[in-house]
Structure 1
Amino acid sequence: MDLAYFLRLLFRNWLLILISLIIGVAAAVLVTANTPPKYAAAITMMAKTTKVNKLDVVTPVSLQQVKSYANLLSSRRLISRIVDTEAEISAVQQNIAAQAIPDTLLLQATVSNADPVRAKQLAGALGVEFAKMVDEMERLNPKKPSGVTVMVVDQPTVPSAPVSPRPLVNVAYGALIALFVGVGSIFLRDRLDTTVKSSEMLQRLSQSYTLGLIGYEKAARRRPLIAGDGASSPRSEAYRSLSANLRFIDIDRQRKSLVITSCLPHEGKSSTAANLAITLAQAGRRVIVIDGNLRRPRMQDYFGIEDMVGLTDVLLGKVGLGEAIHRRVDLGLHVLPSGQIPPNPSELLGSRRMGHVLEELAKSFDMVIIDTPPLPAGTDAATLAAACDGAILVVRYGKTRHEHVLHAKELLSSVGARMVGTVLNAVPARARRCDDGYGHGAESQTKREAMVPVSG
């Protein structure tokens, strides 16, 4: 996965990122608003010595002593001198920060409290009691003065502004955490999601060209054919791009028959077969579409054919081929429906008679389009693909998994059939905008996509 892929992934999920940021910022504002303010008052002291050795030289206070004094500043023993109850002692102890300023004899204690005046009072009292405690601890002889004294360098003052909460910092942290969680969840979901969601991924899996991206439209289930759509409708343009890309596959070899199949049911292979046939017919080619799905035929309903005579009757020798073919003058194409559903569709489709039918139709038409069942449903699709010039695999966006495409590729390869390309169907508008190679009416771009070899 390269940087461009991740950028497209983020762009496709920009709304989730925005919602995460809004929630993060709102949570930070809510926490800030409900956090009581705290004020901090600081007192700075210095420990100095009056100890004199035998040579009348003043012995300085060691830095180690100063560090020990810093720990004493937050001790319960000292705090119990400035407050009375056990609860107050614990509360004050949790809100005292004491430190020995490095490489100096200075000590600093910061006391936090919800009341700025109280914070100043506690810090002042702490300084007074600390000086007394040090004097007591360092006094070896009760009758003699202590060798160490503590003097206040900076007296505490009443703080004018709270030290917490900090609105800007909280909002920044909230936004960063939300961004991290949002982007992280997008990448995690992408890693765990093995469905096909880009033409680039589909090309890598199938090791074939992505011939077209068909957009998702709610009305497609009610009106599967593009015959009623305008010439400039997104679906019509998508199928024109698909039919145009077919011309760039093996230019030196003229393909007369193509099987349209899929990895799973309900991926749109039947509507793709019908609309591809319509588009090729609109381009002036003599086209016939065969309903080779003898398990769940759809072409009869799509094209409004009431006669039950079809492919099954031809293969059983009940009628001649010409009698079973229906012409749709308004669409400029011919249709060979499935006919009666037989108990043994695989045997019929793999028969010699089926091979003769395909040969005869290939002589009479420029293109023979065959709709078949999904590949895993039986040997029907693979058998017909081996008998034709190639197969187009229809993959549904966000439904077909990587392993499904790989399995379909293996099934076609096992019978010597060639996958000439794939179609990514039901692609949402936001995904089409991010997917390279898609564009309404962008003929040069779709040509380039169809002819670029698959890397790796």
Structure 2
Amino acid sequence: MTLAQFIDVLRHRWLSIAAVLVLATGIAAAVSAVQPPQYRATSEVFVSVAGGASVADLSQGNTFSAARVKSYEALAVTPQVLGQAAKQLGLPPGSGLGRVVTATSKRDTVLISISATDSSPTQAAAIANAVTDQLVKVVDRVERSASAASDLVHLSVFQRATAPSAPFAPRLAVNLAIGILAGLALGVSQAVLREVLDTRLRSFEALRRLTDASVLGEFAVDETIAKQPLVSVDNRYSTRAEAFRQLRTHLTYTNLDGDAQSIVITSATPGEGKSSTAVNLALMLAQNGSKVILVDADLRRPTTGTYLGIESRVGLSTVLTRQVDLDDAIQEVGSDNPLHVLAAGRVPPNPSELLSSSRMVALIRDLESRYEYVIVDAPPMLPVTDPAVLGAVCSGVLLVVSVNGQTKRADFTAAERTVQQVGARLLGLVVNRLPVQRRAKTYYNYEPSAPLSESPRRASRARLSSKDPL
């Protein structure tokens, strides 16, 4: 995963990362709240040697004491010392002082620090002092019986432990810092793992990593499409209408020869918006003054007749089976710049055979000779072979892909590969159901705020003259 891909993952999955971060921080705060306070008291023991008559004696004595420090450090936490300390404090045998007492020493020093932890500050200080007292006694007894140099090494209490005023645990700031770091690590890890394991298209960036095909149109998520799939004539300056104008403009740059274009509009799987895209694109091309015909070649689930409110029982299937002449089957939608429509006709039992027949090829060529644009609404690419056959016959294929998680990445890749395998030309992609935030950065609902035939200054003068009593 590249740095750019990693940043895309963070941007698109920031909600889950934030949720894990908040959860980990909350757990850290809860643990700190329920954990009882612990106090730590520390006493220090100084290891000294008897003075010598010469520098060599002093050096040997210092070396000897430094070597003994580690031994005394280990001796402080032995059962013998801890048992005597428990007896001094009046605690029962096996009270577990070994879990609360530690002995440490700094390098190149002869100081031994003995620390004790307890929920009571006074008890912590008492334990540390008791262990210190018993260590001094045990070392004195052991050294006297083990060596003739009984007065060479001596332990003395350098600093006795006092009751601490503040607990050392729980440390809220430290626990929160650990919780935040752990939450960030877990949140980013789960986001990256979900991205790696996720097989669906959920962003524009994920689509761009799969293909090098040109994106001719981008359409945001719009909840009103289900009730009103066609672009409203009354709202010609809407974001959706402007997006279709952009698609119309980009489509003109794919016509390298300048001849009539027959364009198959399809998708990898059902439900990605290919039929509504075909109908709206055909309407936009017709409103621009082009001579356009829309052919509903989805002979399994035709929807053009429903969208446009026209008769759909007479159309492509009846023309291909020679039941109706082509001119009689073509219908007009609109008045000023009408869109010609060839509906699907009755659903035949053999749609693949009809669409792959020589009669269909001849029909496409006939329509190309009559119209500037032949928009063919084809079935989805993966379930059937119809769009692949039509793509090889027509000028090119316009592939509609939804990036709201409905389409799998493998399905889109398979559809694109199918277009290449049949020798069809992929004109580009229409990206559907983009997040609203992305589209908001592109269009601004640039609607006119004043009559185009009248300037603001002239309108202002007209209003002032109308108020003049003279």
Residue number in structure 2 paired with 1:406: 413
Residue type of the alignment partner of 1:402: R
Verify: 1:302 aligned to 2:307, yes or no: yes
My pick for the range that moved more, 26-35 or 143-152, is 143-152
Residue number in structure 2 paired with 1:82: 85
TM alignment of 1:407-422, pairs within 5 A: 407-422=414-429
Identify if the C-alpha distance between structure 1 residues 364 and 142 changes in structure 2 by more than 3 Å, giving closer, same or farther: closer
Residue number in structure 2 paired with 1:202: 207
Residue type of the alignment partner of 1:71: A
Residue number in structure 2 paired with 1:72: 75
Between the aligned partners of 2:71 and 2:442, the Cα distance in structure 1 is 73
My pick for the range that moved more, 328-337 or 68-77, is 328-337
Q: What is the DSSP-based 3-state SS (H/G/I as helix, E as strand, rest coil) of the residue aligned with 2:311?
A: coil
Residue type of the alignment partner of 1:394: V
Residue number in structure 2 paired with 1:49: 49
Residue number in structure 2 paired with 1:361: 367
Residue number in structure 2 paired with 1:35: 35
Verify: 1:168 aligned to 2:173, yes or no: yes
Residue type of the alignment partner of 1:407: A
- Alignment check: 8 A CA contact 1:288 1:365 kept: yes
Identify if the C-alpha distance between structure 1 residues 240 and 85 changes in structure 2 by more than 3 Å, giving closer, same or farther: farther
Deviations 1:309-336 (A, max 9, x none): 1111111111111111111116831211
Residue number in structure 2 paired with 1:449: none
Residue number in structure 1 paired with 2:467: none
Identify if the C-alpha distance between structure 1 residues 103 and 229 changes in structure 2 by more than 3 Å, giving closer, same or farther: farther
Query: How far off is 1:195 after superposition?
Result: 2.1
Identify if the C-alpha distance between structure 1 residues 379 and 72 changes in structure 2 by more than 3 Å, giving closer, same or farther: same
Residue number in structure 1 paired with 2:391: 385
Residue number in structure 1 paired with 2:280: 275
Identify if the C-alpha distance between structure 1 residues 284 and 203 changes in structure 2 by more than 3 Å, giving closer, same or farther: farther
Query: How far off is 1:286 after superposition?
Result: 2.0
Residue type of the alignment partner of 2:13: N
Query: How far off is 1:64 after superposition?
Result: 3.1
Query: How far off is 1:290 after superposition?
Result: 0.8
Between the aligned partners of 2:201 and 2:102, the Cα distance in structure 1 is 56
Identify if the C-alpha distance between structure 1 residues 50 and 79 changes in structure 2 by more than 3 Å, giving closer, same or farther: same
- Alignment check: 8 A CA contact 1:229 1:236 kept: no
Identify if the C-alpha distance between structure 1 residues 229 and 25 changes in structure 2 by more than 3 Å, giving closer, same or farther: farther
TM alignment of 1:48-447, pairs within 5 A: 48-50=48-50, 57=57, 60=61, 61-83=64-86, 84-88=91-95, 90=96, 92-140=97-145, 147-227=152-232, 230-254=235-259, 256-329=261-334, 332-397=338-403, 398-430=405-437, 432=439, 439-440=442-443
Between the aligned partners of 1:141 and 1:190, the Cα distance in structure 2 is 69
Residue number in structure 1 paired with 2:463: none
Between the aligned partners of 2:226 and 2:378, the Cα distance in structure 1 is 19
Between the aligned partners of 1:381 and 1:321, the Cα distance in structure 2 is 21
- Alignment check: 8 A CA contact 2:44 2:159 kept: yes
Identify if the C-alpha distance between structure 1 residues 141 and 167 changes in structure 2 by more than 3 Å, giving closer, same or farther: closer
Q: What is the DSSP-based 3-state SS (H/G/I as helix, E as strand, rest coil) of the residue aligned with 2:382?
A: helix
Q: What is the DSSP-based 3-state SS (H/G/I as helix, E as strand, rest coil) of the residue aligned with 2:201?
A: coil
Q: Structure 2 length normalisation: TM-score?
A: 0.86
Identify if the C-alpha distance between structure 1 residues 100 and 383 changes in structure 2 by more than 3 Å, giving closer, same or farther: same
Q: Structure 1 length normalisation: TM-score?
A: 0.88
Between the aligned partners of 2:341 and 2:232, the Cα distance in structure 1 is 15
Between the aligned partners of 1:413 and 1:377, the Cα distance in structure 2 is 17
Identify if the C-alpha distance between structure 1 residues 310 and 50 changes in structure 2 by more than 3 Å, giving closer, same or farther: same
Between the aligned partners of 2:93 and 2:223, the Cα distance in structure 1 is 69
My pick for the range that moved more, 70-79 or 387-396, is 70-79
CA RMSD of aligned residues (A): 2.7
Q: What is the DSSP-based 3-state SS (H/G/I as helix, E as strand, rest coil) of the residue aligned with 1:130?
A: helix
Count of residues in correspondence between the two structures: 437
* Unaligned segments of structure 2, at least 5 residues: 447-470
Verify: 1:9 aligned to 2:16, yes or no: no
Identify if the C-alpha distance between structure 1 residues 418 and 86 changes in structure 2 by more than 3 Å, giving closer, same or farther: farther
Between the aligned partners of 1:282 and 1:212, the Cα distance in structure 2 is 18
Q: What is the DSSP-based 3-state SS (H/G/I as helix, E as strand, rest coil) of the residue aligned with 2:35?
A: coil
- Alignment check: 8 A CA contact 2:239 2:445 kept: no
My pick for the range that moved more, 4-13 or 348-357, is 4-13
My pick for the range that moved more, 186-195 or 277-286, is 277-286
Between the aligned partners of 1:157 and 1:47, the Cα distance in structure 2 is 21
Residue type of the alignment partner of 2:45: M
Deviations 1:362-400 (A, max 9, x none): 222221111111112222111111111000111121222
Residue type of the alignment partner of 1:227: S
My pick for the range that moved more, 222-231 or 39-48, is 222-231
My pick for the range that moved more, 315-324 or 210-219, is 210-219
Between the aligned partners of 1:52 and 1:168, the Cα distance in structure 2 is 51
Identify if the C-alpha distance between structure 1 residues 203 and 29 changes in structure 2 by more than 3 Å, giving closer, same or farther: closer
Residue type of the alignment partner of 2:386: D
Identify if the C-alpha distance between structure 1 residues 389 and 442 changes in structure 2 by more than 3 Å, giving closer, same or farther: farther
